[in-house]
């Protein structure tokens, strides 16, 4: 199967205009195969963009993109449950990516995708969820190569396609509390949406002033950017078919074009590395998880990158 490039849901609280411009560019200027839509971090943010989903989805579909709706990754209150149920109710006509197990109440027995927040770490979990209707799984970025290899073997037997994030800050954890609000001496309920001030996340430093993590509302992400350009060919050989780019404020059109060139073997991983750096990413790159090292590490591969 020809490898496919995907764009994950926007994790951050971008303005409506910024989101609309982003999706317009993705539709008009990239060869992305699949675009994920939906607020997956904070249900309070969802109201800002709900009314535009149909408009954006229509534009993306007319541009030849497949559209998948992603559910919230954490459920705490009735509003969260209602949002997830509304998305799952669309499963008869739209593709749905589940990011929290609570969605299985509504979608089990129907065809659906599994997002990376579902934490499908082993083959037994994959088999169980496939029996409930899952036909596609985006694996967590923490999985090392050997685990991905095992998952790919079982996924093929189950008829499940696999996806891996290959670019962007890595999602690490979710909390019931909103650290973003607390850092500004605000409560979660009275947050004033301060997360909008940090369109790529708020950088968290250690006591000795070293950048360590990034905060996005209730979510903790890596400070470094996952970059698996060197590992892309190996992932394909293992059986991964879909490769996810997580949206950030760098030039994502250029980033998508670089990864497409890499998938089509028209540039080398080393060339791709320099081109991605030129898109505006100033943060360090990381690939440690894939090589069974600390996730924030950069492991030099055989091509020297």
Q: Where are the domains of the chain?
A: 4-169+221-291
DSSP code of residue 201: -
Over residues 54-62, the mean pLDDT reads 98
Average pLDDT over residues 141-159: 97
Helix axes 145-158, 123-131, angle to 10 degrees: 30
* Residue percentage of the chain with pLDDT more than 90: 97
What local confidence, expressed as pLDDT, does residue 78 receive? 92
Give the pLDDT score at 303. 58
**What number is the average pLDDT over the span 182-208?**
95
Average pLDDT, the chain: 96
pLDDT exceeds cutoff 90 at 305: no
Query: What does the pLDDT average to over 212-234?
Result: 97
> For residue 286, is pLDDT > 90?
yes
Backbone angles phi, psi at 127, to 5 degrees: -65, -45
Distance from CA of residue 70 to its chain's centroid?
A: 10
* Residue 1: predicted pLDDT: 76
* Contacts of 208 by beta carbon, 8 Å cutoff, 6+ apart: none
Q: Span 159-170, mean pLDDT?
A: 98
23, 31, 38, 192, 237 from 63: Cα distances, Å: 11, 9, 19, 36, 29
Report residue 301's pLDDT band, with 50, 70 and 90 as the boundaries. Answer: confident
Q: Is the pLDDT of residue 208 over 60?
A: yes
Q: Which two tokens stand for residue 216?
A: 């996005």
Question: CA separation (Å) from 138 to 120, 154, 217, 275, 299?
Answer: 8, 14, 22, 26, 23
Per-residue confidence at 141, pLDDT binned at 50, 70, 90?
very high
Instruction: Answer whether residue 31 shows pLDDT above 90.
Output: yes
Quick check: 304 pLDDT over 70?
no
What whole-number percentage of the chain has pLDDT above 70? 99
Assign domain 4-169+221-291 to its CATH architecture.
Alpha-Beta Barrel (3.20)
Asked whether the predicted pLDDT for residue 44 surpasses 60, the reply is yes
Per residue in 75-118, pLDDT (tens digit) is: 999 999 999 999 999 999 999 999 999 999 999 999 999 999 99
Q: Are 45 and 75 in contact (CB under 8 A)?
A: no
């Amino acid at each position: 199967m020809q490898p496919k490039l995907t764009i994950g849901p926007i994790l951050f609280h971008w303005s409506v205009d910024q989101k609309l411009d982003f999706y317009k560019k993705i539709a008009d200027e990239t060869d992305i195969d699949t675009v994920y839509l939906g607020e997956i971090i904070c249900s309070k943010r969802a109201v800002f963009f709900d009314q535009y989903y149909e408009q954006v989805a229509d534009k993306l579909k007319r541009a030849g993109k497949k559209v998948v709706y992603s559910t919230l990754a954490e459920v705490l209150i009735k509003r969260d449950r209602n949002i997830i149920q509304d998305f799952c109710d669309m499963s008869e006509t739209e593709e749905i990516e589940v990011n929290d197990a609570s969605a299985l109440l509504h979608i089990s027995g129907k065809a659906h995708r599994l997002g990376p927040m579902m934490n499908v770490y082993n083959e037994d979990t994959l088999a169980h969820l496939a029996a409930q209707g899952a036909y596609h799984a985006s694996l967590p970025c923490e999985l090392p190569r050997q685990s991905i290899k095992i998952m790919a073997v079982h996924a093929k037997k189950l008829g499940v396609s696999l996806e891996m994030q290959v670019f962007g800050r890595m999602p690490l954890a979710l909390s019931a509390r909103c650290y973003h609000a607390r850092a500004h001496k605000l409560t979660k309920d009275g947050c004033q949406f301060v997360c909008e001030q940090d369109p790529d996340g708020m950088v968290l430093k250690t006591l000795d002033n070293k950048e360590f993590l990034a905060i996005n509302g209730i979510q903790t992400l890596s400070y470094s950017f996952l970059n698996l350009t060197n590992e892309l060919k190996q992932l394909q050989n293992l059986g991964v078919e879909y490769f996810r780019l997580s949206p950030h404020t760098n030039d994502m059109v250029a980033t998508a074009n670089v990864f497409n060139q890499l998938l089509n073997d028209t540039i080398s991983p080393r060339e791709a590395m320099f081109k991605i750096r030129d898109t505006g990413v100033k943060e360090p790159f990381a690939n440690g998880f894939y090589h069974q090292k600390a996730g924030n590490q950069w492991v030099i591969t055989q091509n020297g990158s």
